[in-house]
Structure 1
Amino acid sequence: MGKTTHGAAPFVALGILGLMLSSACVERSEELSAAQRERVRTHVSRTAPHPSHPLDIAFGDSVELIGYDLSEETWARGTDLTVTWHWKVLAPVGDDYRLFTHIEARGTDTLNHDGDGAVRGLYPPSRWQAGEYIRDEQRIHLPSEWGMGPSGATATDAAFYVGFWRGNERLPVRRGAQDGDNRARPLTIPVSGGNPVEAGPPRMPELVASRALSSITVDGDLHDPGWLASPWSQPFVQTMNGAQARFEARARVVYDDTYLYVAFQVADTNLQSPHRNADDHLWEQDCVEVFLDPDGDGRNYFEIQVSPRGVVFDTRYDSRRQPQPFGHVNWQSQAQVGVALRGTLDDDQVDEGYHVELRVPFSALVAEGSAATQEAPAPGSTWRMNFYVMEKSPNGQDAAGWSPVLVPDFHATDRFGRVTFRDLPRNQRANPERPSVNATEAALEDRGRALQETAERVEAQNRPAPGEHPVAP
């Protein structure tokens, strides 16, 4: 296939970019590093490109999609495809607009790749200037089970939908093929390969949260004996379809009379954590996220995020994503966090990942000013929870979650997993005020075999049956 070529005219948009960094009203406002500016340089030009697949699609009076390039003309399941969109900027798009890319089969099995690609992370549409040509490159993985139904009912092509969104609105598609909802349809590509799977969505996972065997020091070191009473979750999965995630992550939960504890293990080869202030938008870079819905009704639920730097974002919602835009950010979780890095932050060194310990008092899990109280859950009770990891990658943002929500919204409370609280015999409970090493060692010895059996039983319950779609519990 033909390659896109660019003229040798000097790049002139970076000066404008530098000015915009100090004036644009966009979520991501920090200045770009020299390396990031160099990455942007290769994606923005004043010289018209020559895409191998020309198009003529107009979005409002601001932008035209003039074509695309493909790394392959057929997409095999289980492989990556690089698609490069070529945008022509006629006028400023407007504050806070972002690009979206949806891939669908028969109107279902939607893959959401809104944030993938260097342009979308570093130079979003809200910064584009009239006269620029934007080379928007996305590398997208097609899961091996995507578009596959039982008994060989298989999608034979993938339809791409692209456009611009801001809150609940989209830029109108003024010219070109679209779906009637201001999603332009520039591309349909044949797909191949894969194996039939059983019908139905991935099941919602379950996890046991045991009472802590001993007091836990919240420092990111996950070797405290107090954690051993609870099993780890199985690996996190892709949030949209339950397929294997691109990186490894898992969580576990314990509790005592006063606190809920959540631990994360995350594999990450490039730790990025520039945010330094409480309630910064941590989801723009690397972070872990905990969603808590104690009574499981989808109302009055809580969100806590922790970055590898140990910064916390916390908020409470009355109902799904309400109030806009980020809930009651004045709510305070009173969380104590500890992070252990396996690498270094914000540099070019290859990292391994990080561990997070999070401790939240049950008493904080109430609405602001409410006379209600939240106590430690009774043994046998179940809370709805979900756990996510956001990971900044060279090509955009990756996400993984414990329970796949199957829609492009982490706030789908009906898809939160179930965490059931389990008590311990009173003589084996931890005393958080005066922990006893001898008692802890005795408890560990007495319960070691039982814990192993419990972990094996939970794992066996969550293991997919033969032929079942392999997702995390």
Structure 2
Amino acid sequence: MEDVLEQVTGWSGYTMSLYEIRKPNIDFTPSMYTCRRAEQKLELDGRVNKPFWSAADWTKPFVNIEGPEASKPAKQTRVKMLWDDEHFYFAAELEEDQIWATMTERESPLFLENNFEIFIDPDGDTHNYYELEINALNTIWDLMLTKPYRDGGVRISAWDIQGLKTAVYIDGEVNKPDATNRMWSVEVAIPWISLLECAPGRRLPVSGEYWRVNYCRIRWEAEHKNGVYEKSLNPETGEFYPEDISVWSPHGLINMHYPDMWGYVVFAESNESEWTQLPVVEQMKWDLRRLYYLQHKQFKRFGSFAHDLEMLMHLSDEKWSIVPQMQSTERMFEISAPIPGSSSRLYLRDDGRVWKE
């Protein structure tokens, strides 16, 4: 899903000044998933009940992007994942009694209709990540983003997933309002070679490593007129009703381009146990991210970043797991913290990138 500002201004890139960088309004409890090695070869047809997927668990059902305490999604969505030495595999099942789509050209703005979206940040630095959107007609939009729009990022729609395979299965009929519809499902196989540009060490993941991933489902309220579906208009405003946005890992606000809130997918062999514990270094990254949000709140209020790190930390009632240091000017900052039991440090700078060295 593209940001609302992007829809209004024609998909151009944005500088930080056009965005309010808001802290998510939920606790940091990202979803986790153990992605096991595939045991068979996948023949894509969009069906997700075949033996290939029996080795994978379903994710929990999607929740409102603003969090589980917000309104429940209108329809259930869930996902499976597998991997092997050639591909990263995805299966999605989307319950639906109104299955419709009109866009058939690649790189169309699919988020303006019902769709399913995949987001992948291989190294978890929140910069240089991938997005794939697909609709019920198996039309795709694949793109790369240099960094989140909030941090001045731009999208590269000319980037394509070379060797991408997708398939859609319809349990019902597309664009037939009188049809008996139950759901539509999606299968995706992404070759690793298309993801390695932003992957750690530019290589395949190994068992025990994890990537940041999230999924989004866009569903618009629709009605049928003259035998076709049309998005419903609010008679009081003359505008479309807001879309229903459900996700695997909630963000606490309506914006998919918050990679720091995406879930964790750990790659495992077929017989390895489920991964449930968030690594200590990831909690440390979140504490650095909290300082990032506080700094940008400071910048919005006073027009400059804070120089006093202790004062900044006292602005939060939450506990801290890090002992940070900061270098800052009025327009830039870099915060770091030592990783316990290691000679390495974590770093985060004003444009949101986080890394270890």
Residue 402 of structure 1, CA deviation: 0.1
The alpha-carbon distance between structure 1 residues 239 and 308, as it changes in their structure 2 partners (threshold 3 A), is same
Matches for 1:31-430 after TM superposition, within 5 Å: 97=8, 201=27, 203-243=29-69, 244-321=72-149, 327-334=155-162, 335-349=164-178, 350-367=180-197, 374-394=202-222, 395=232, 396=241, 397-424=243-270
Higher Rg of the two aligned structures: 1
The alpha-carbon distance between structure 1 residues 206 and 97, as it changes in their structure 2 partners (threshold 3 A), is closer
How far apart in 1 are the matches of 2:155 and 2:79? 25
How far apart in 2 are the matches of 1:232 and 1:357? 14
How far apart in 2 are the matches of 1:228 and 1:421? 17
- 1:263-310 CA-to-partner distances (Å, cap 9, x unmatched) read 100011111210001010111111110000011110110000111100
How far apart in 1 are the matches of 2:43 and 2:154? 31
How far apart in 1 are the matches of 2:133 and 2:59? 18
- 1:127-185 CA-to-partner distances (Å, cap 9, x unmatched) read xxxxxxxxxxxxxxxxxxxxxxxxxxxxxxxxxxxxxxx9979xxxxxxxxxxx9xxxx
What corresponds to 1:77 in structure 2?
A: none
- 1:368-427 CA-to-partner distances (Å, cap 9, x unmatched) read xx99974331000010000111112224321110000112210110100000000147xx
- Secondary structure of the residue aligned to 1:276 is coil
Q: Provide the TM-score with structure 1 as the length reference.
A: 0.46
Q: Provide the TM-score with structure 2 as the length reference.
A: 0.61
Residue 366 of structure 1, CA deviation: 4.4
- Secondary structure of the residue aligned to 1:241 is coil
The answer on whether the counterparts of 1:362 and 1:374 sit within 8 Å (CA) in structure 2 is: no
What corresponds to 2:228 in structure 1?
A: none
The answer on whether the counterparts of 1:302 and 1:315 sit within 8 Å (CA) in structure 2 is: yes
Residue 223 of structure 1, CA deviation: 2.6
How far apart in 2 are the matches of 1:270 and 1:390? 13
Residue 246 of structure 1, CA deviation: 1.9
- 1:339-368 CA-to-partner distances (Å, cap 9, x unmatched) read 00012222322522201000000100145x
What corresponds to 1:464 in structure 2?
A: none
How far apart in 2 are the matches of 1:299 and 1:261? 23
The answer on whether the counterparts of 1:241 and 1:404 sit within 8 Å (CA) in structure 2 is: yes
The alpha-carbon distance between structure 1 residues 211 and 251, as it changes in their structure 2 partners (threshold 3 A), is same
- 1:429-471 CA-to-partner distances (Å, cap 9, x unmatched) read xxxxxxxxxxxxxxxxxxxxx9xxx67x97xxxxxxxxxxxxx
- Structure 1 residue ranges without an equivalent (≥5): 1-26, 28-94, 99-125, 127-165, 170-180, 182-198, 426-449, 459-473
What corresponds to 2:290 in structure 1?
A: none
- 1:27-73 CA-to-partner distances (Å, cap 9, x unmatched) read 9xxxxxxxxxxxxxxxxxxxxxxxxxxxxxxxxxxxxxxxxxxxxxx
The alpha-carbon distance between structure 1 residues 342 and 289, as it changes in their structure 2 partners (threshold 3 A), is same
The amino acid of 1:240's aligned partner reads: E
- Secondary structure of the residue aligned to 1:363 is helix
- 1:166-211 CA-to-partner distances (Å, cap 9, x unmatched) read 9979xxxxxxxxxxx9xxxxxxxxxxxxxxxxx9626211001000
What corresponds to 1:105 in structure 2?
A: none
How far apart in 1 are the matches of 2:269 and 2:58? 17
How far apart in 2 are the matches of 1:371 and 1:347? 42
The amino acid of 1:217's aligned partner reads: E
The alpha-carbon distance between structure 1 residues 200 and 278, as it changes in their structure 2 partners (threshold 3 A), is closer
The answer on whether the counterparts of 1:270 and 1:393 sit within 8 Å (CA) in structure 2 is: no
The answer on whether the counterparts of 2:122 and 2:211 sit within 8 Å (CA) in structure 1 is: yes
How far apart in 2 are the matches of 1:310 and 1:379? 31
Residue 323 of structure 1, CA deviation: 9.5
How far apart in 1 are the matches of 2:109 and 2:7? 14
The answer on whether the counterparts of 2:132 and 2:142 sit within 8 Å (CA) in structure 1 is: yes
Number of residue-to-residue matches in the alignment: 241
Residue 225 of structure 1, CA deviation: 2.1
The alpha-carbon distance between structure 1 residues 372 and 363, as it changes in their structure 2 partners (threshold 3 A), is farther
Greater relative CO, 1 or 2 (CA 8 Å, sep 6+): 2
CA RMSD in angstroms, aligned pairs only: 3.3
How far apart in 2 are the matches of 1:372 and 1:421? 14
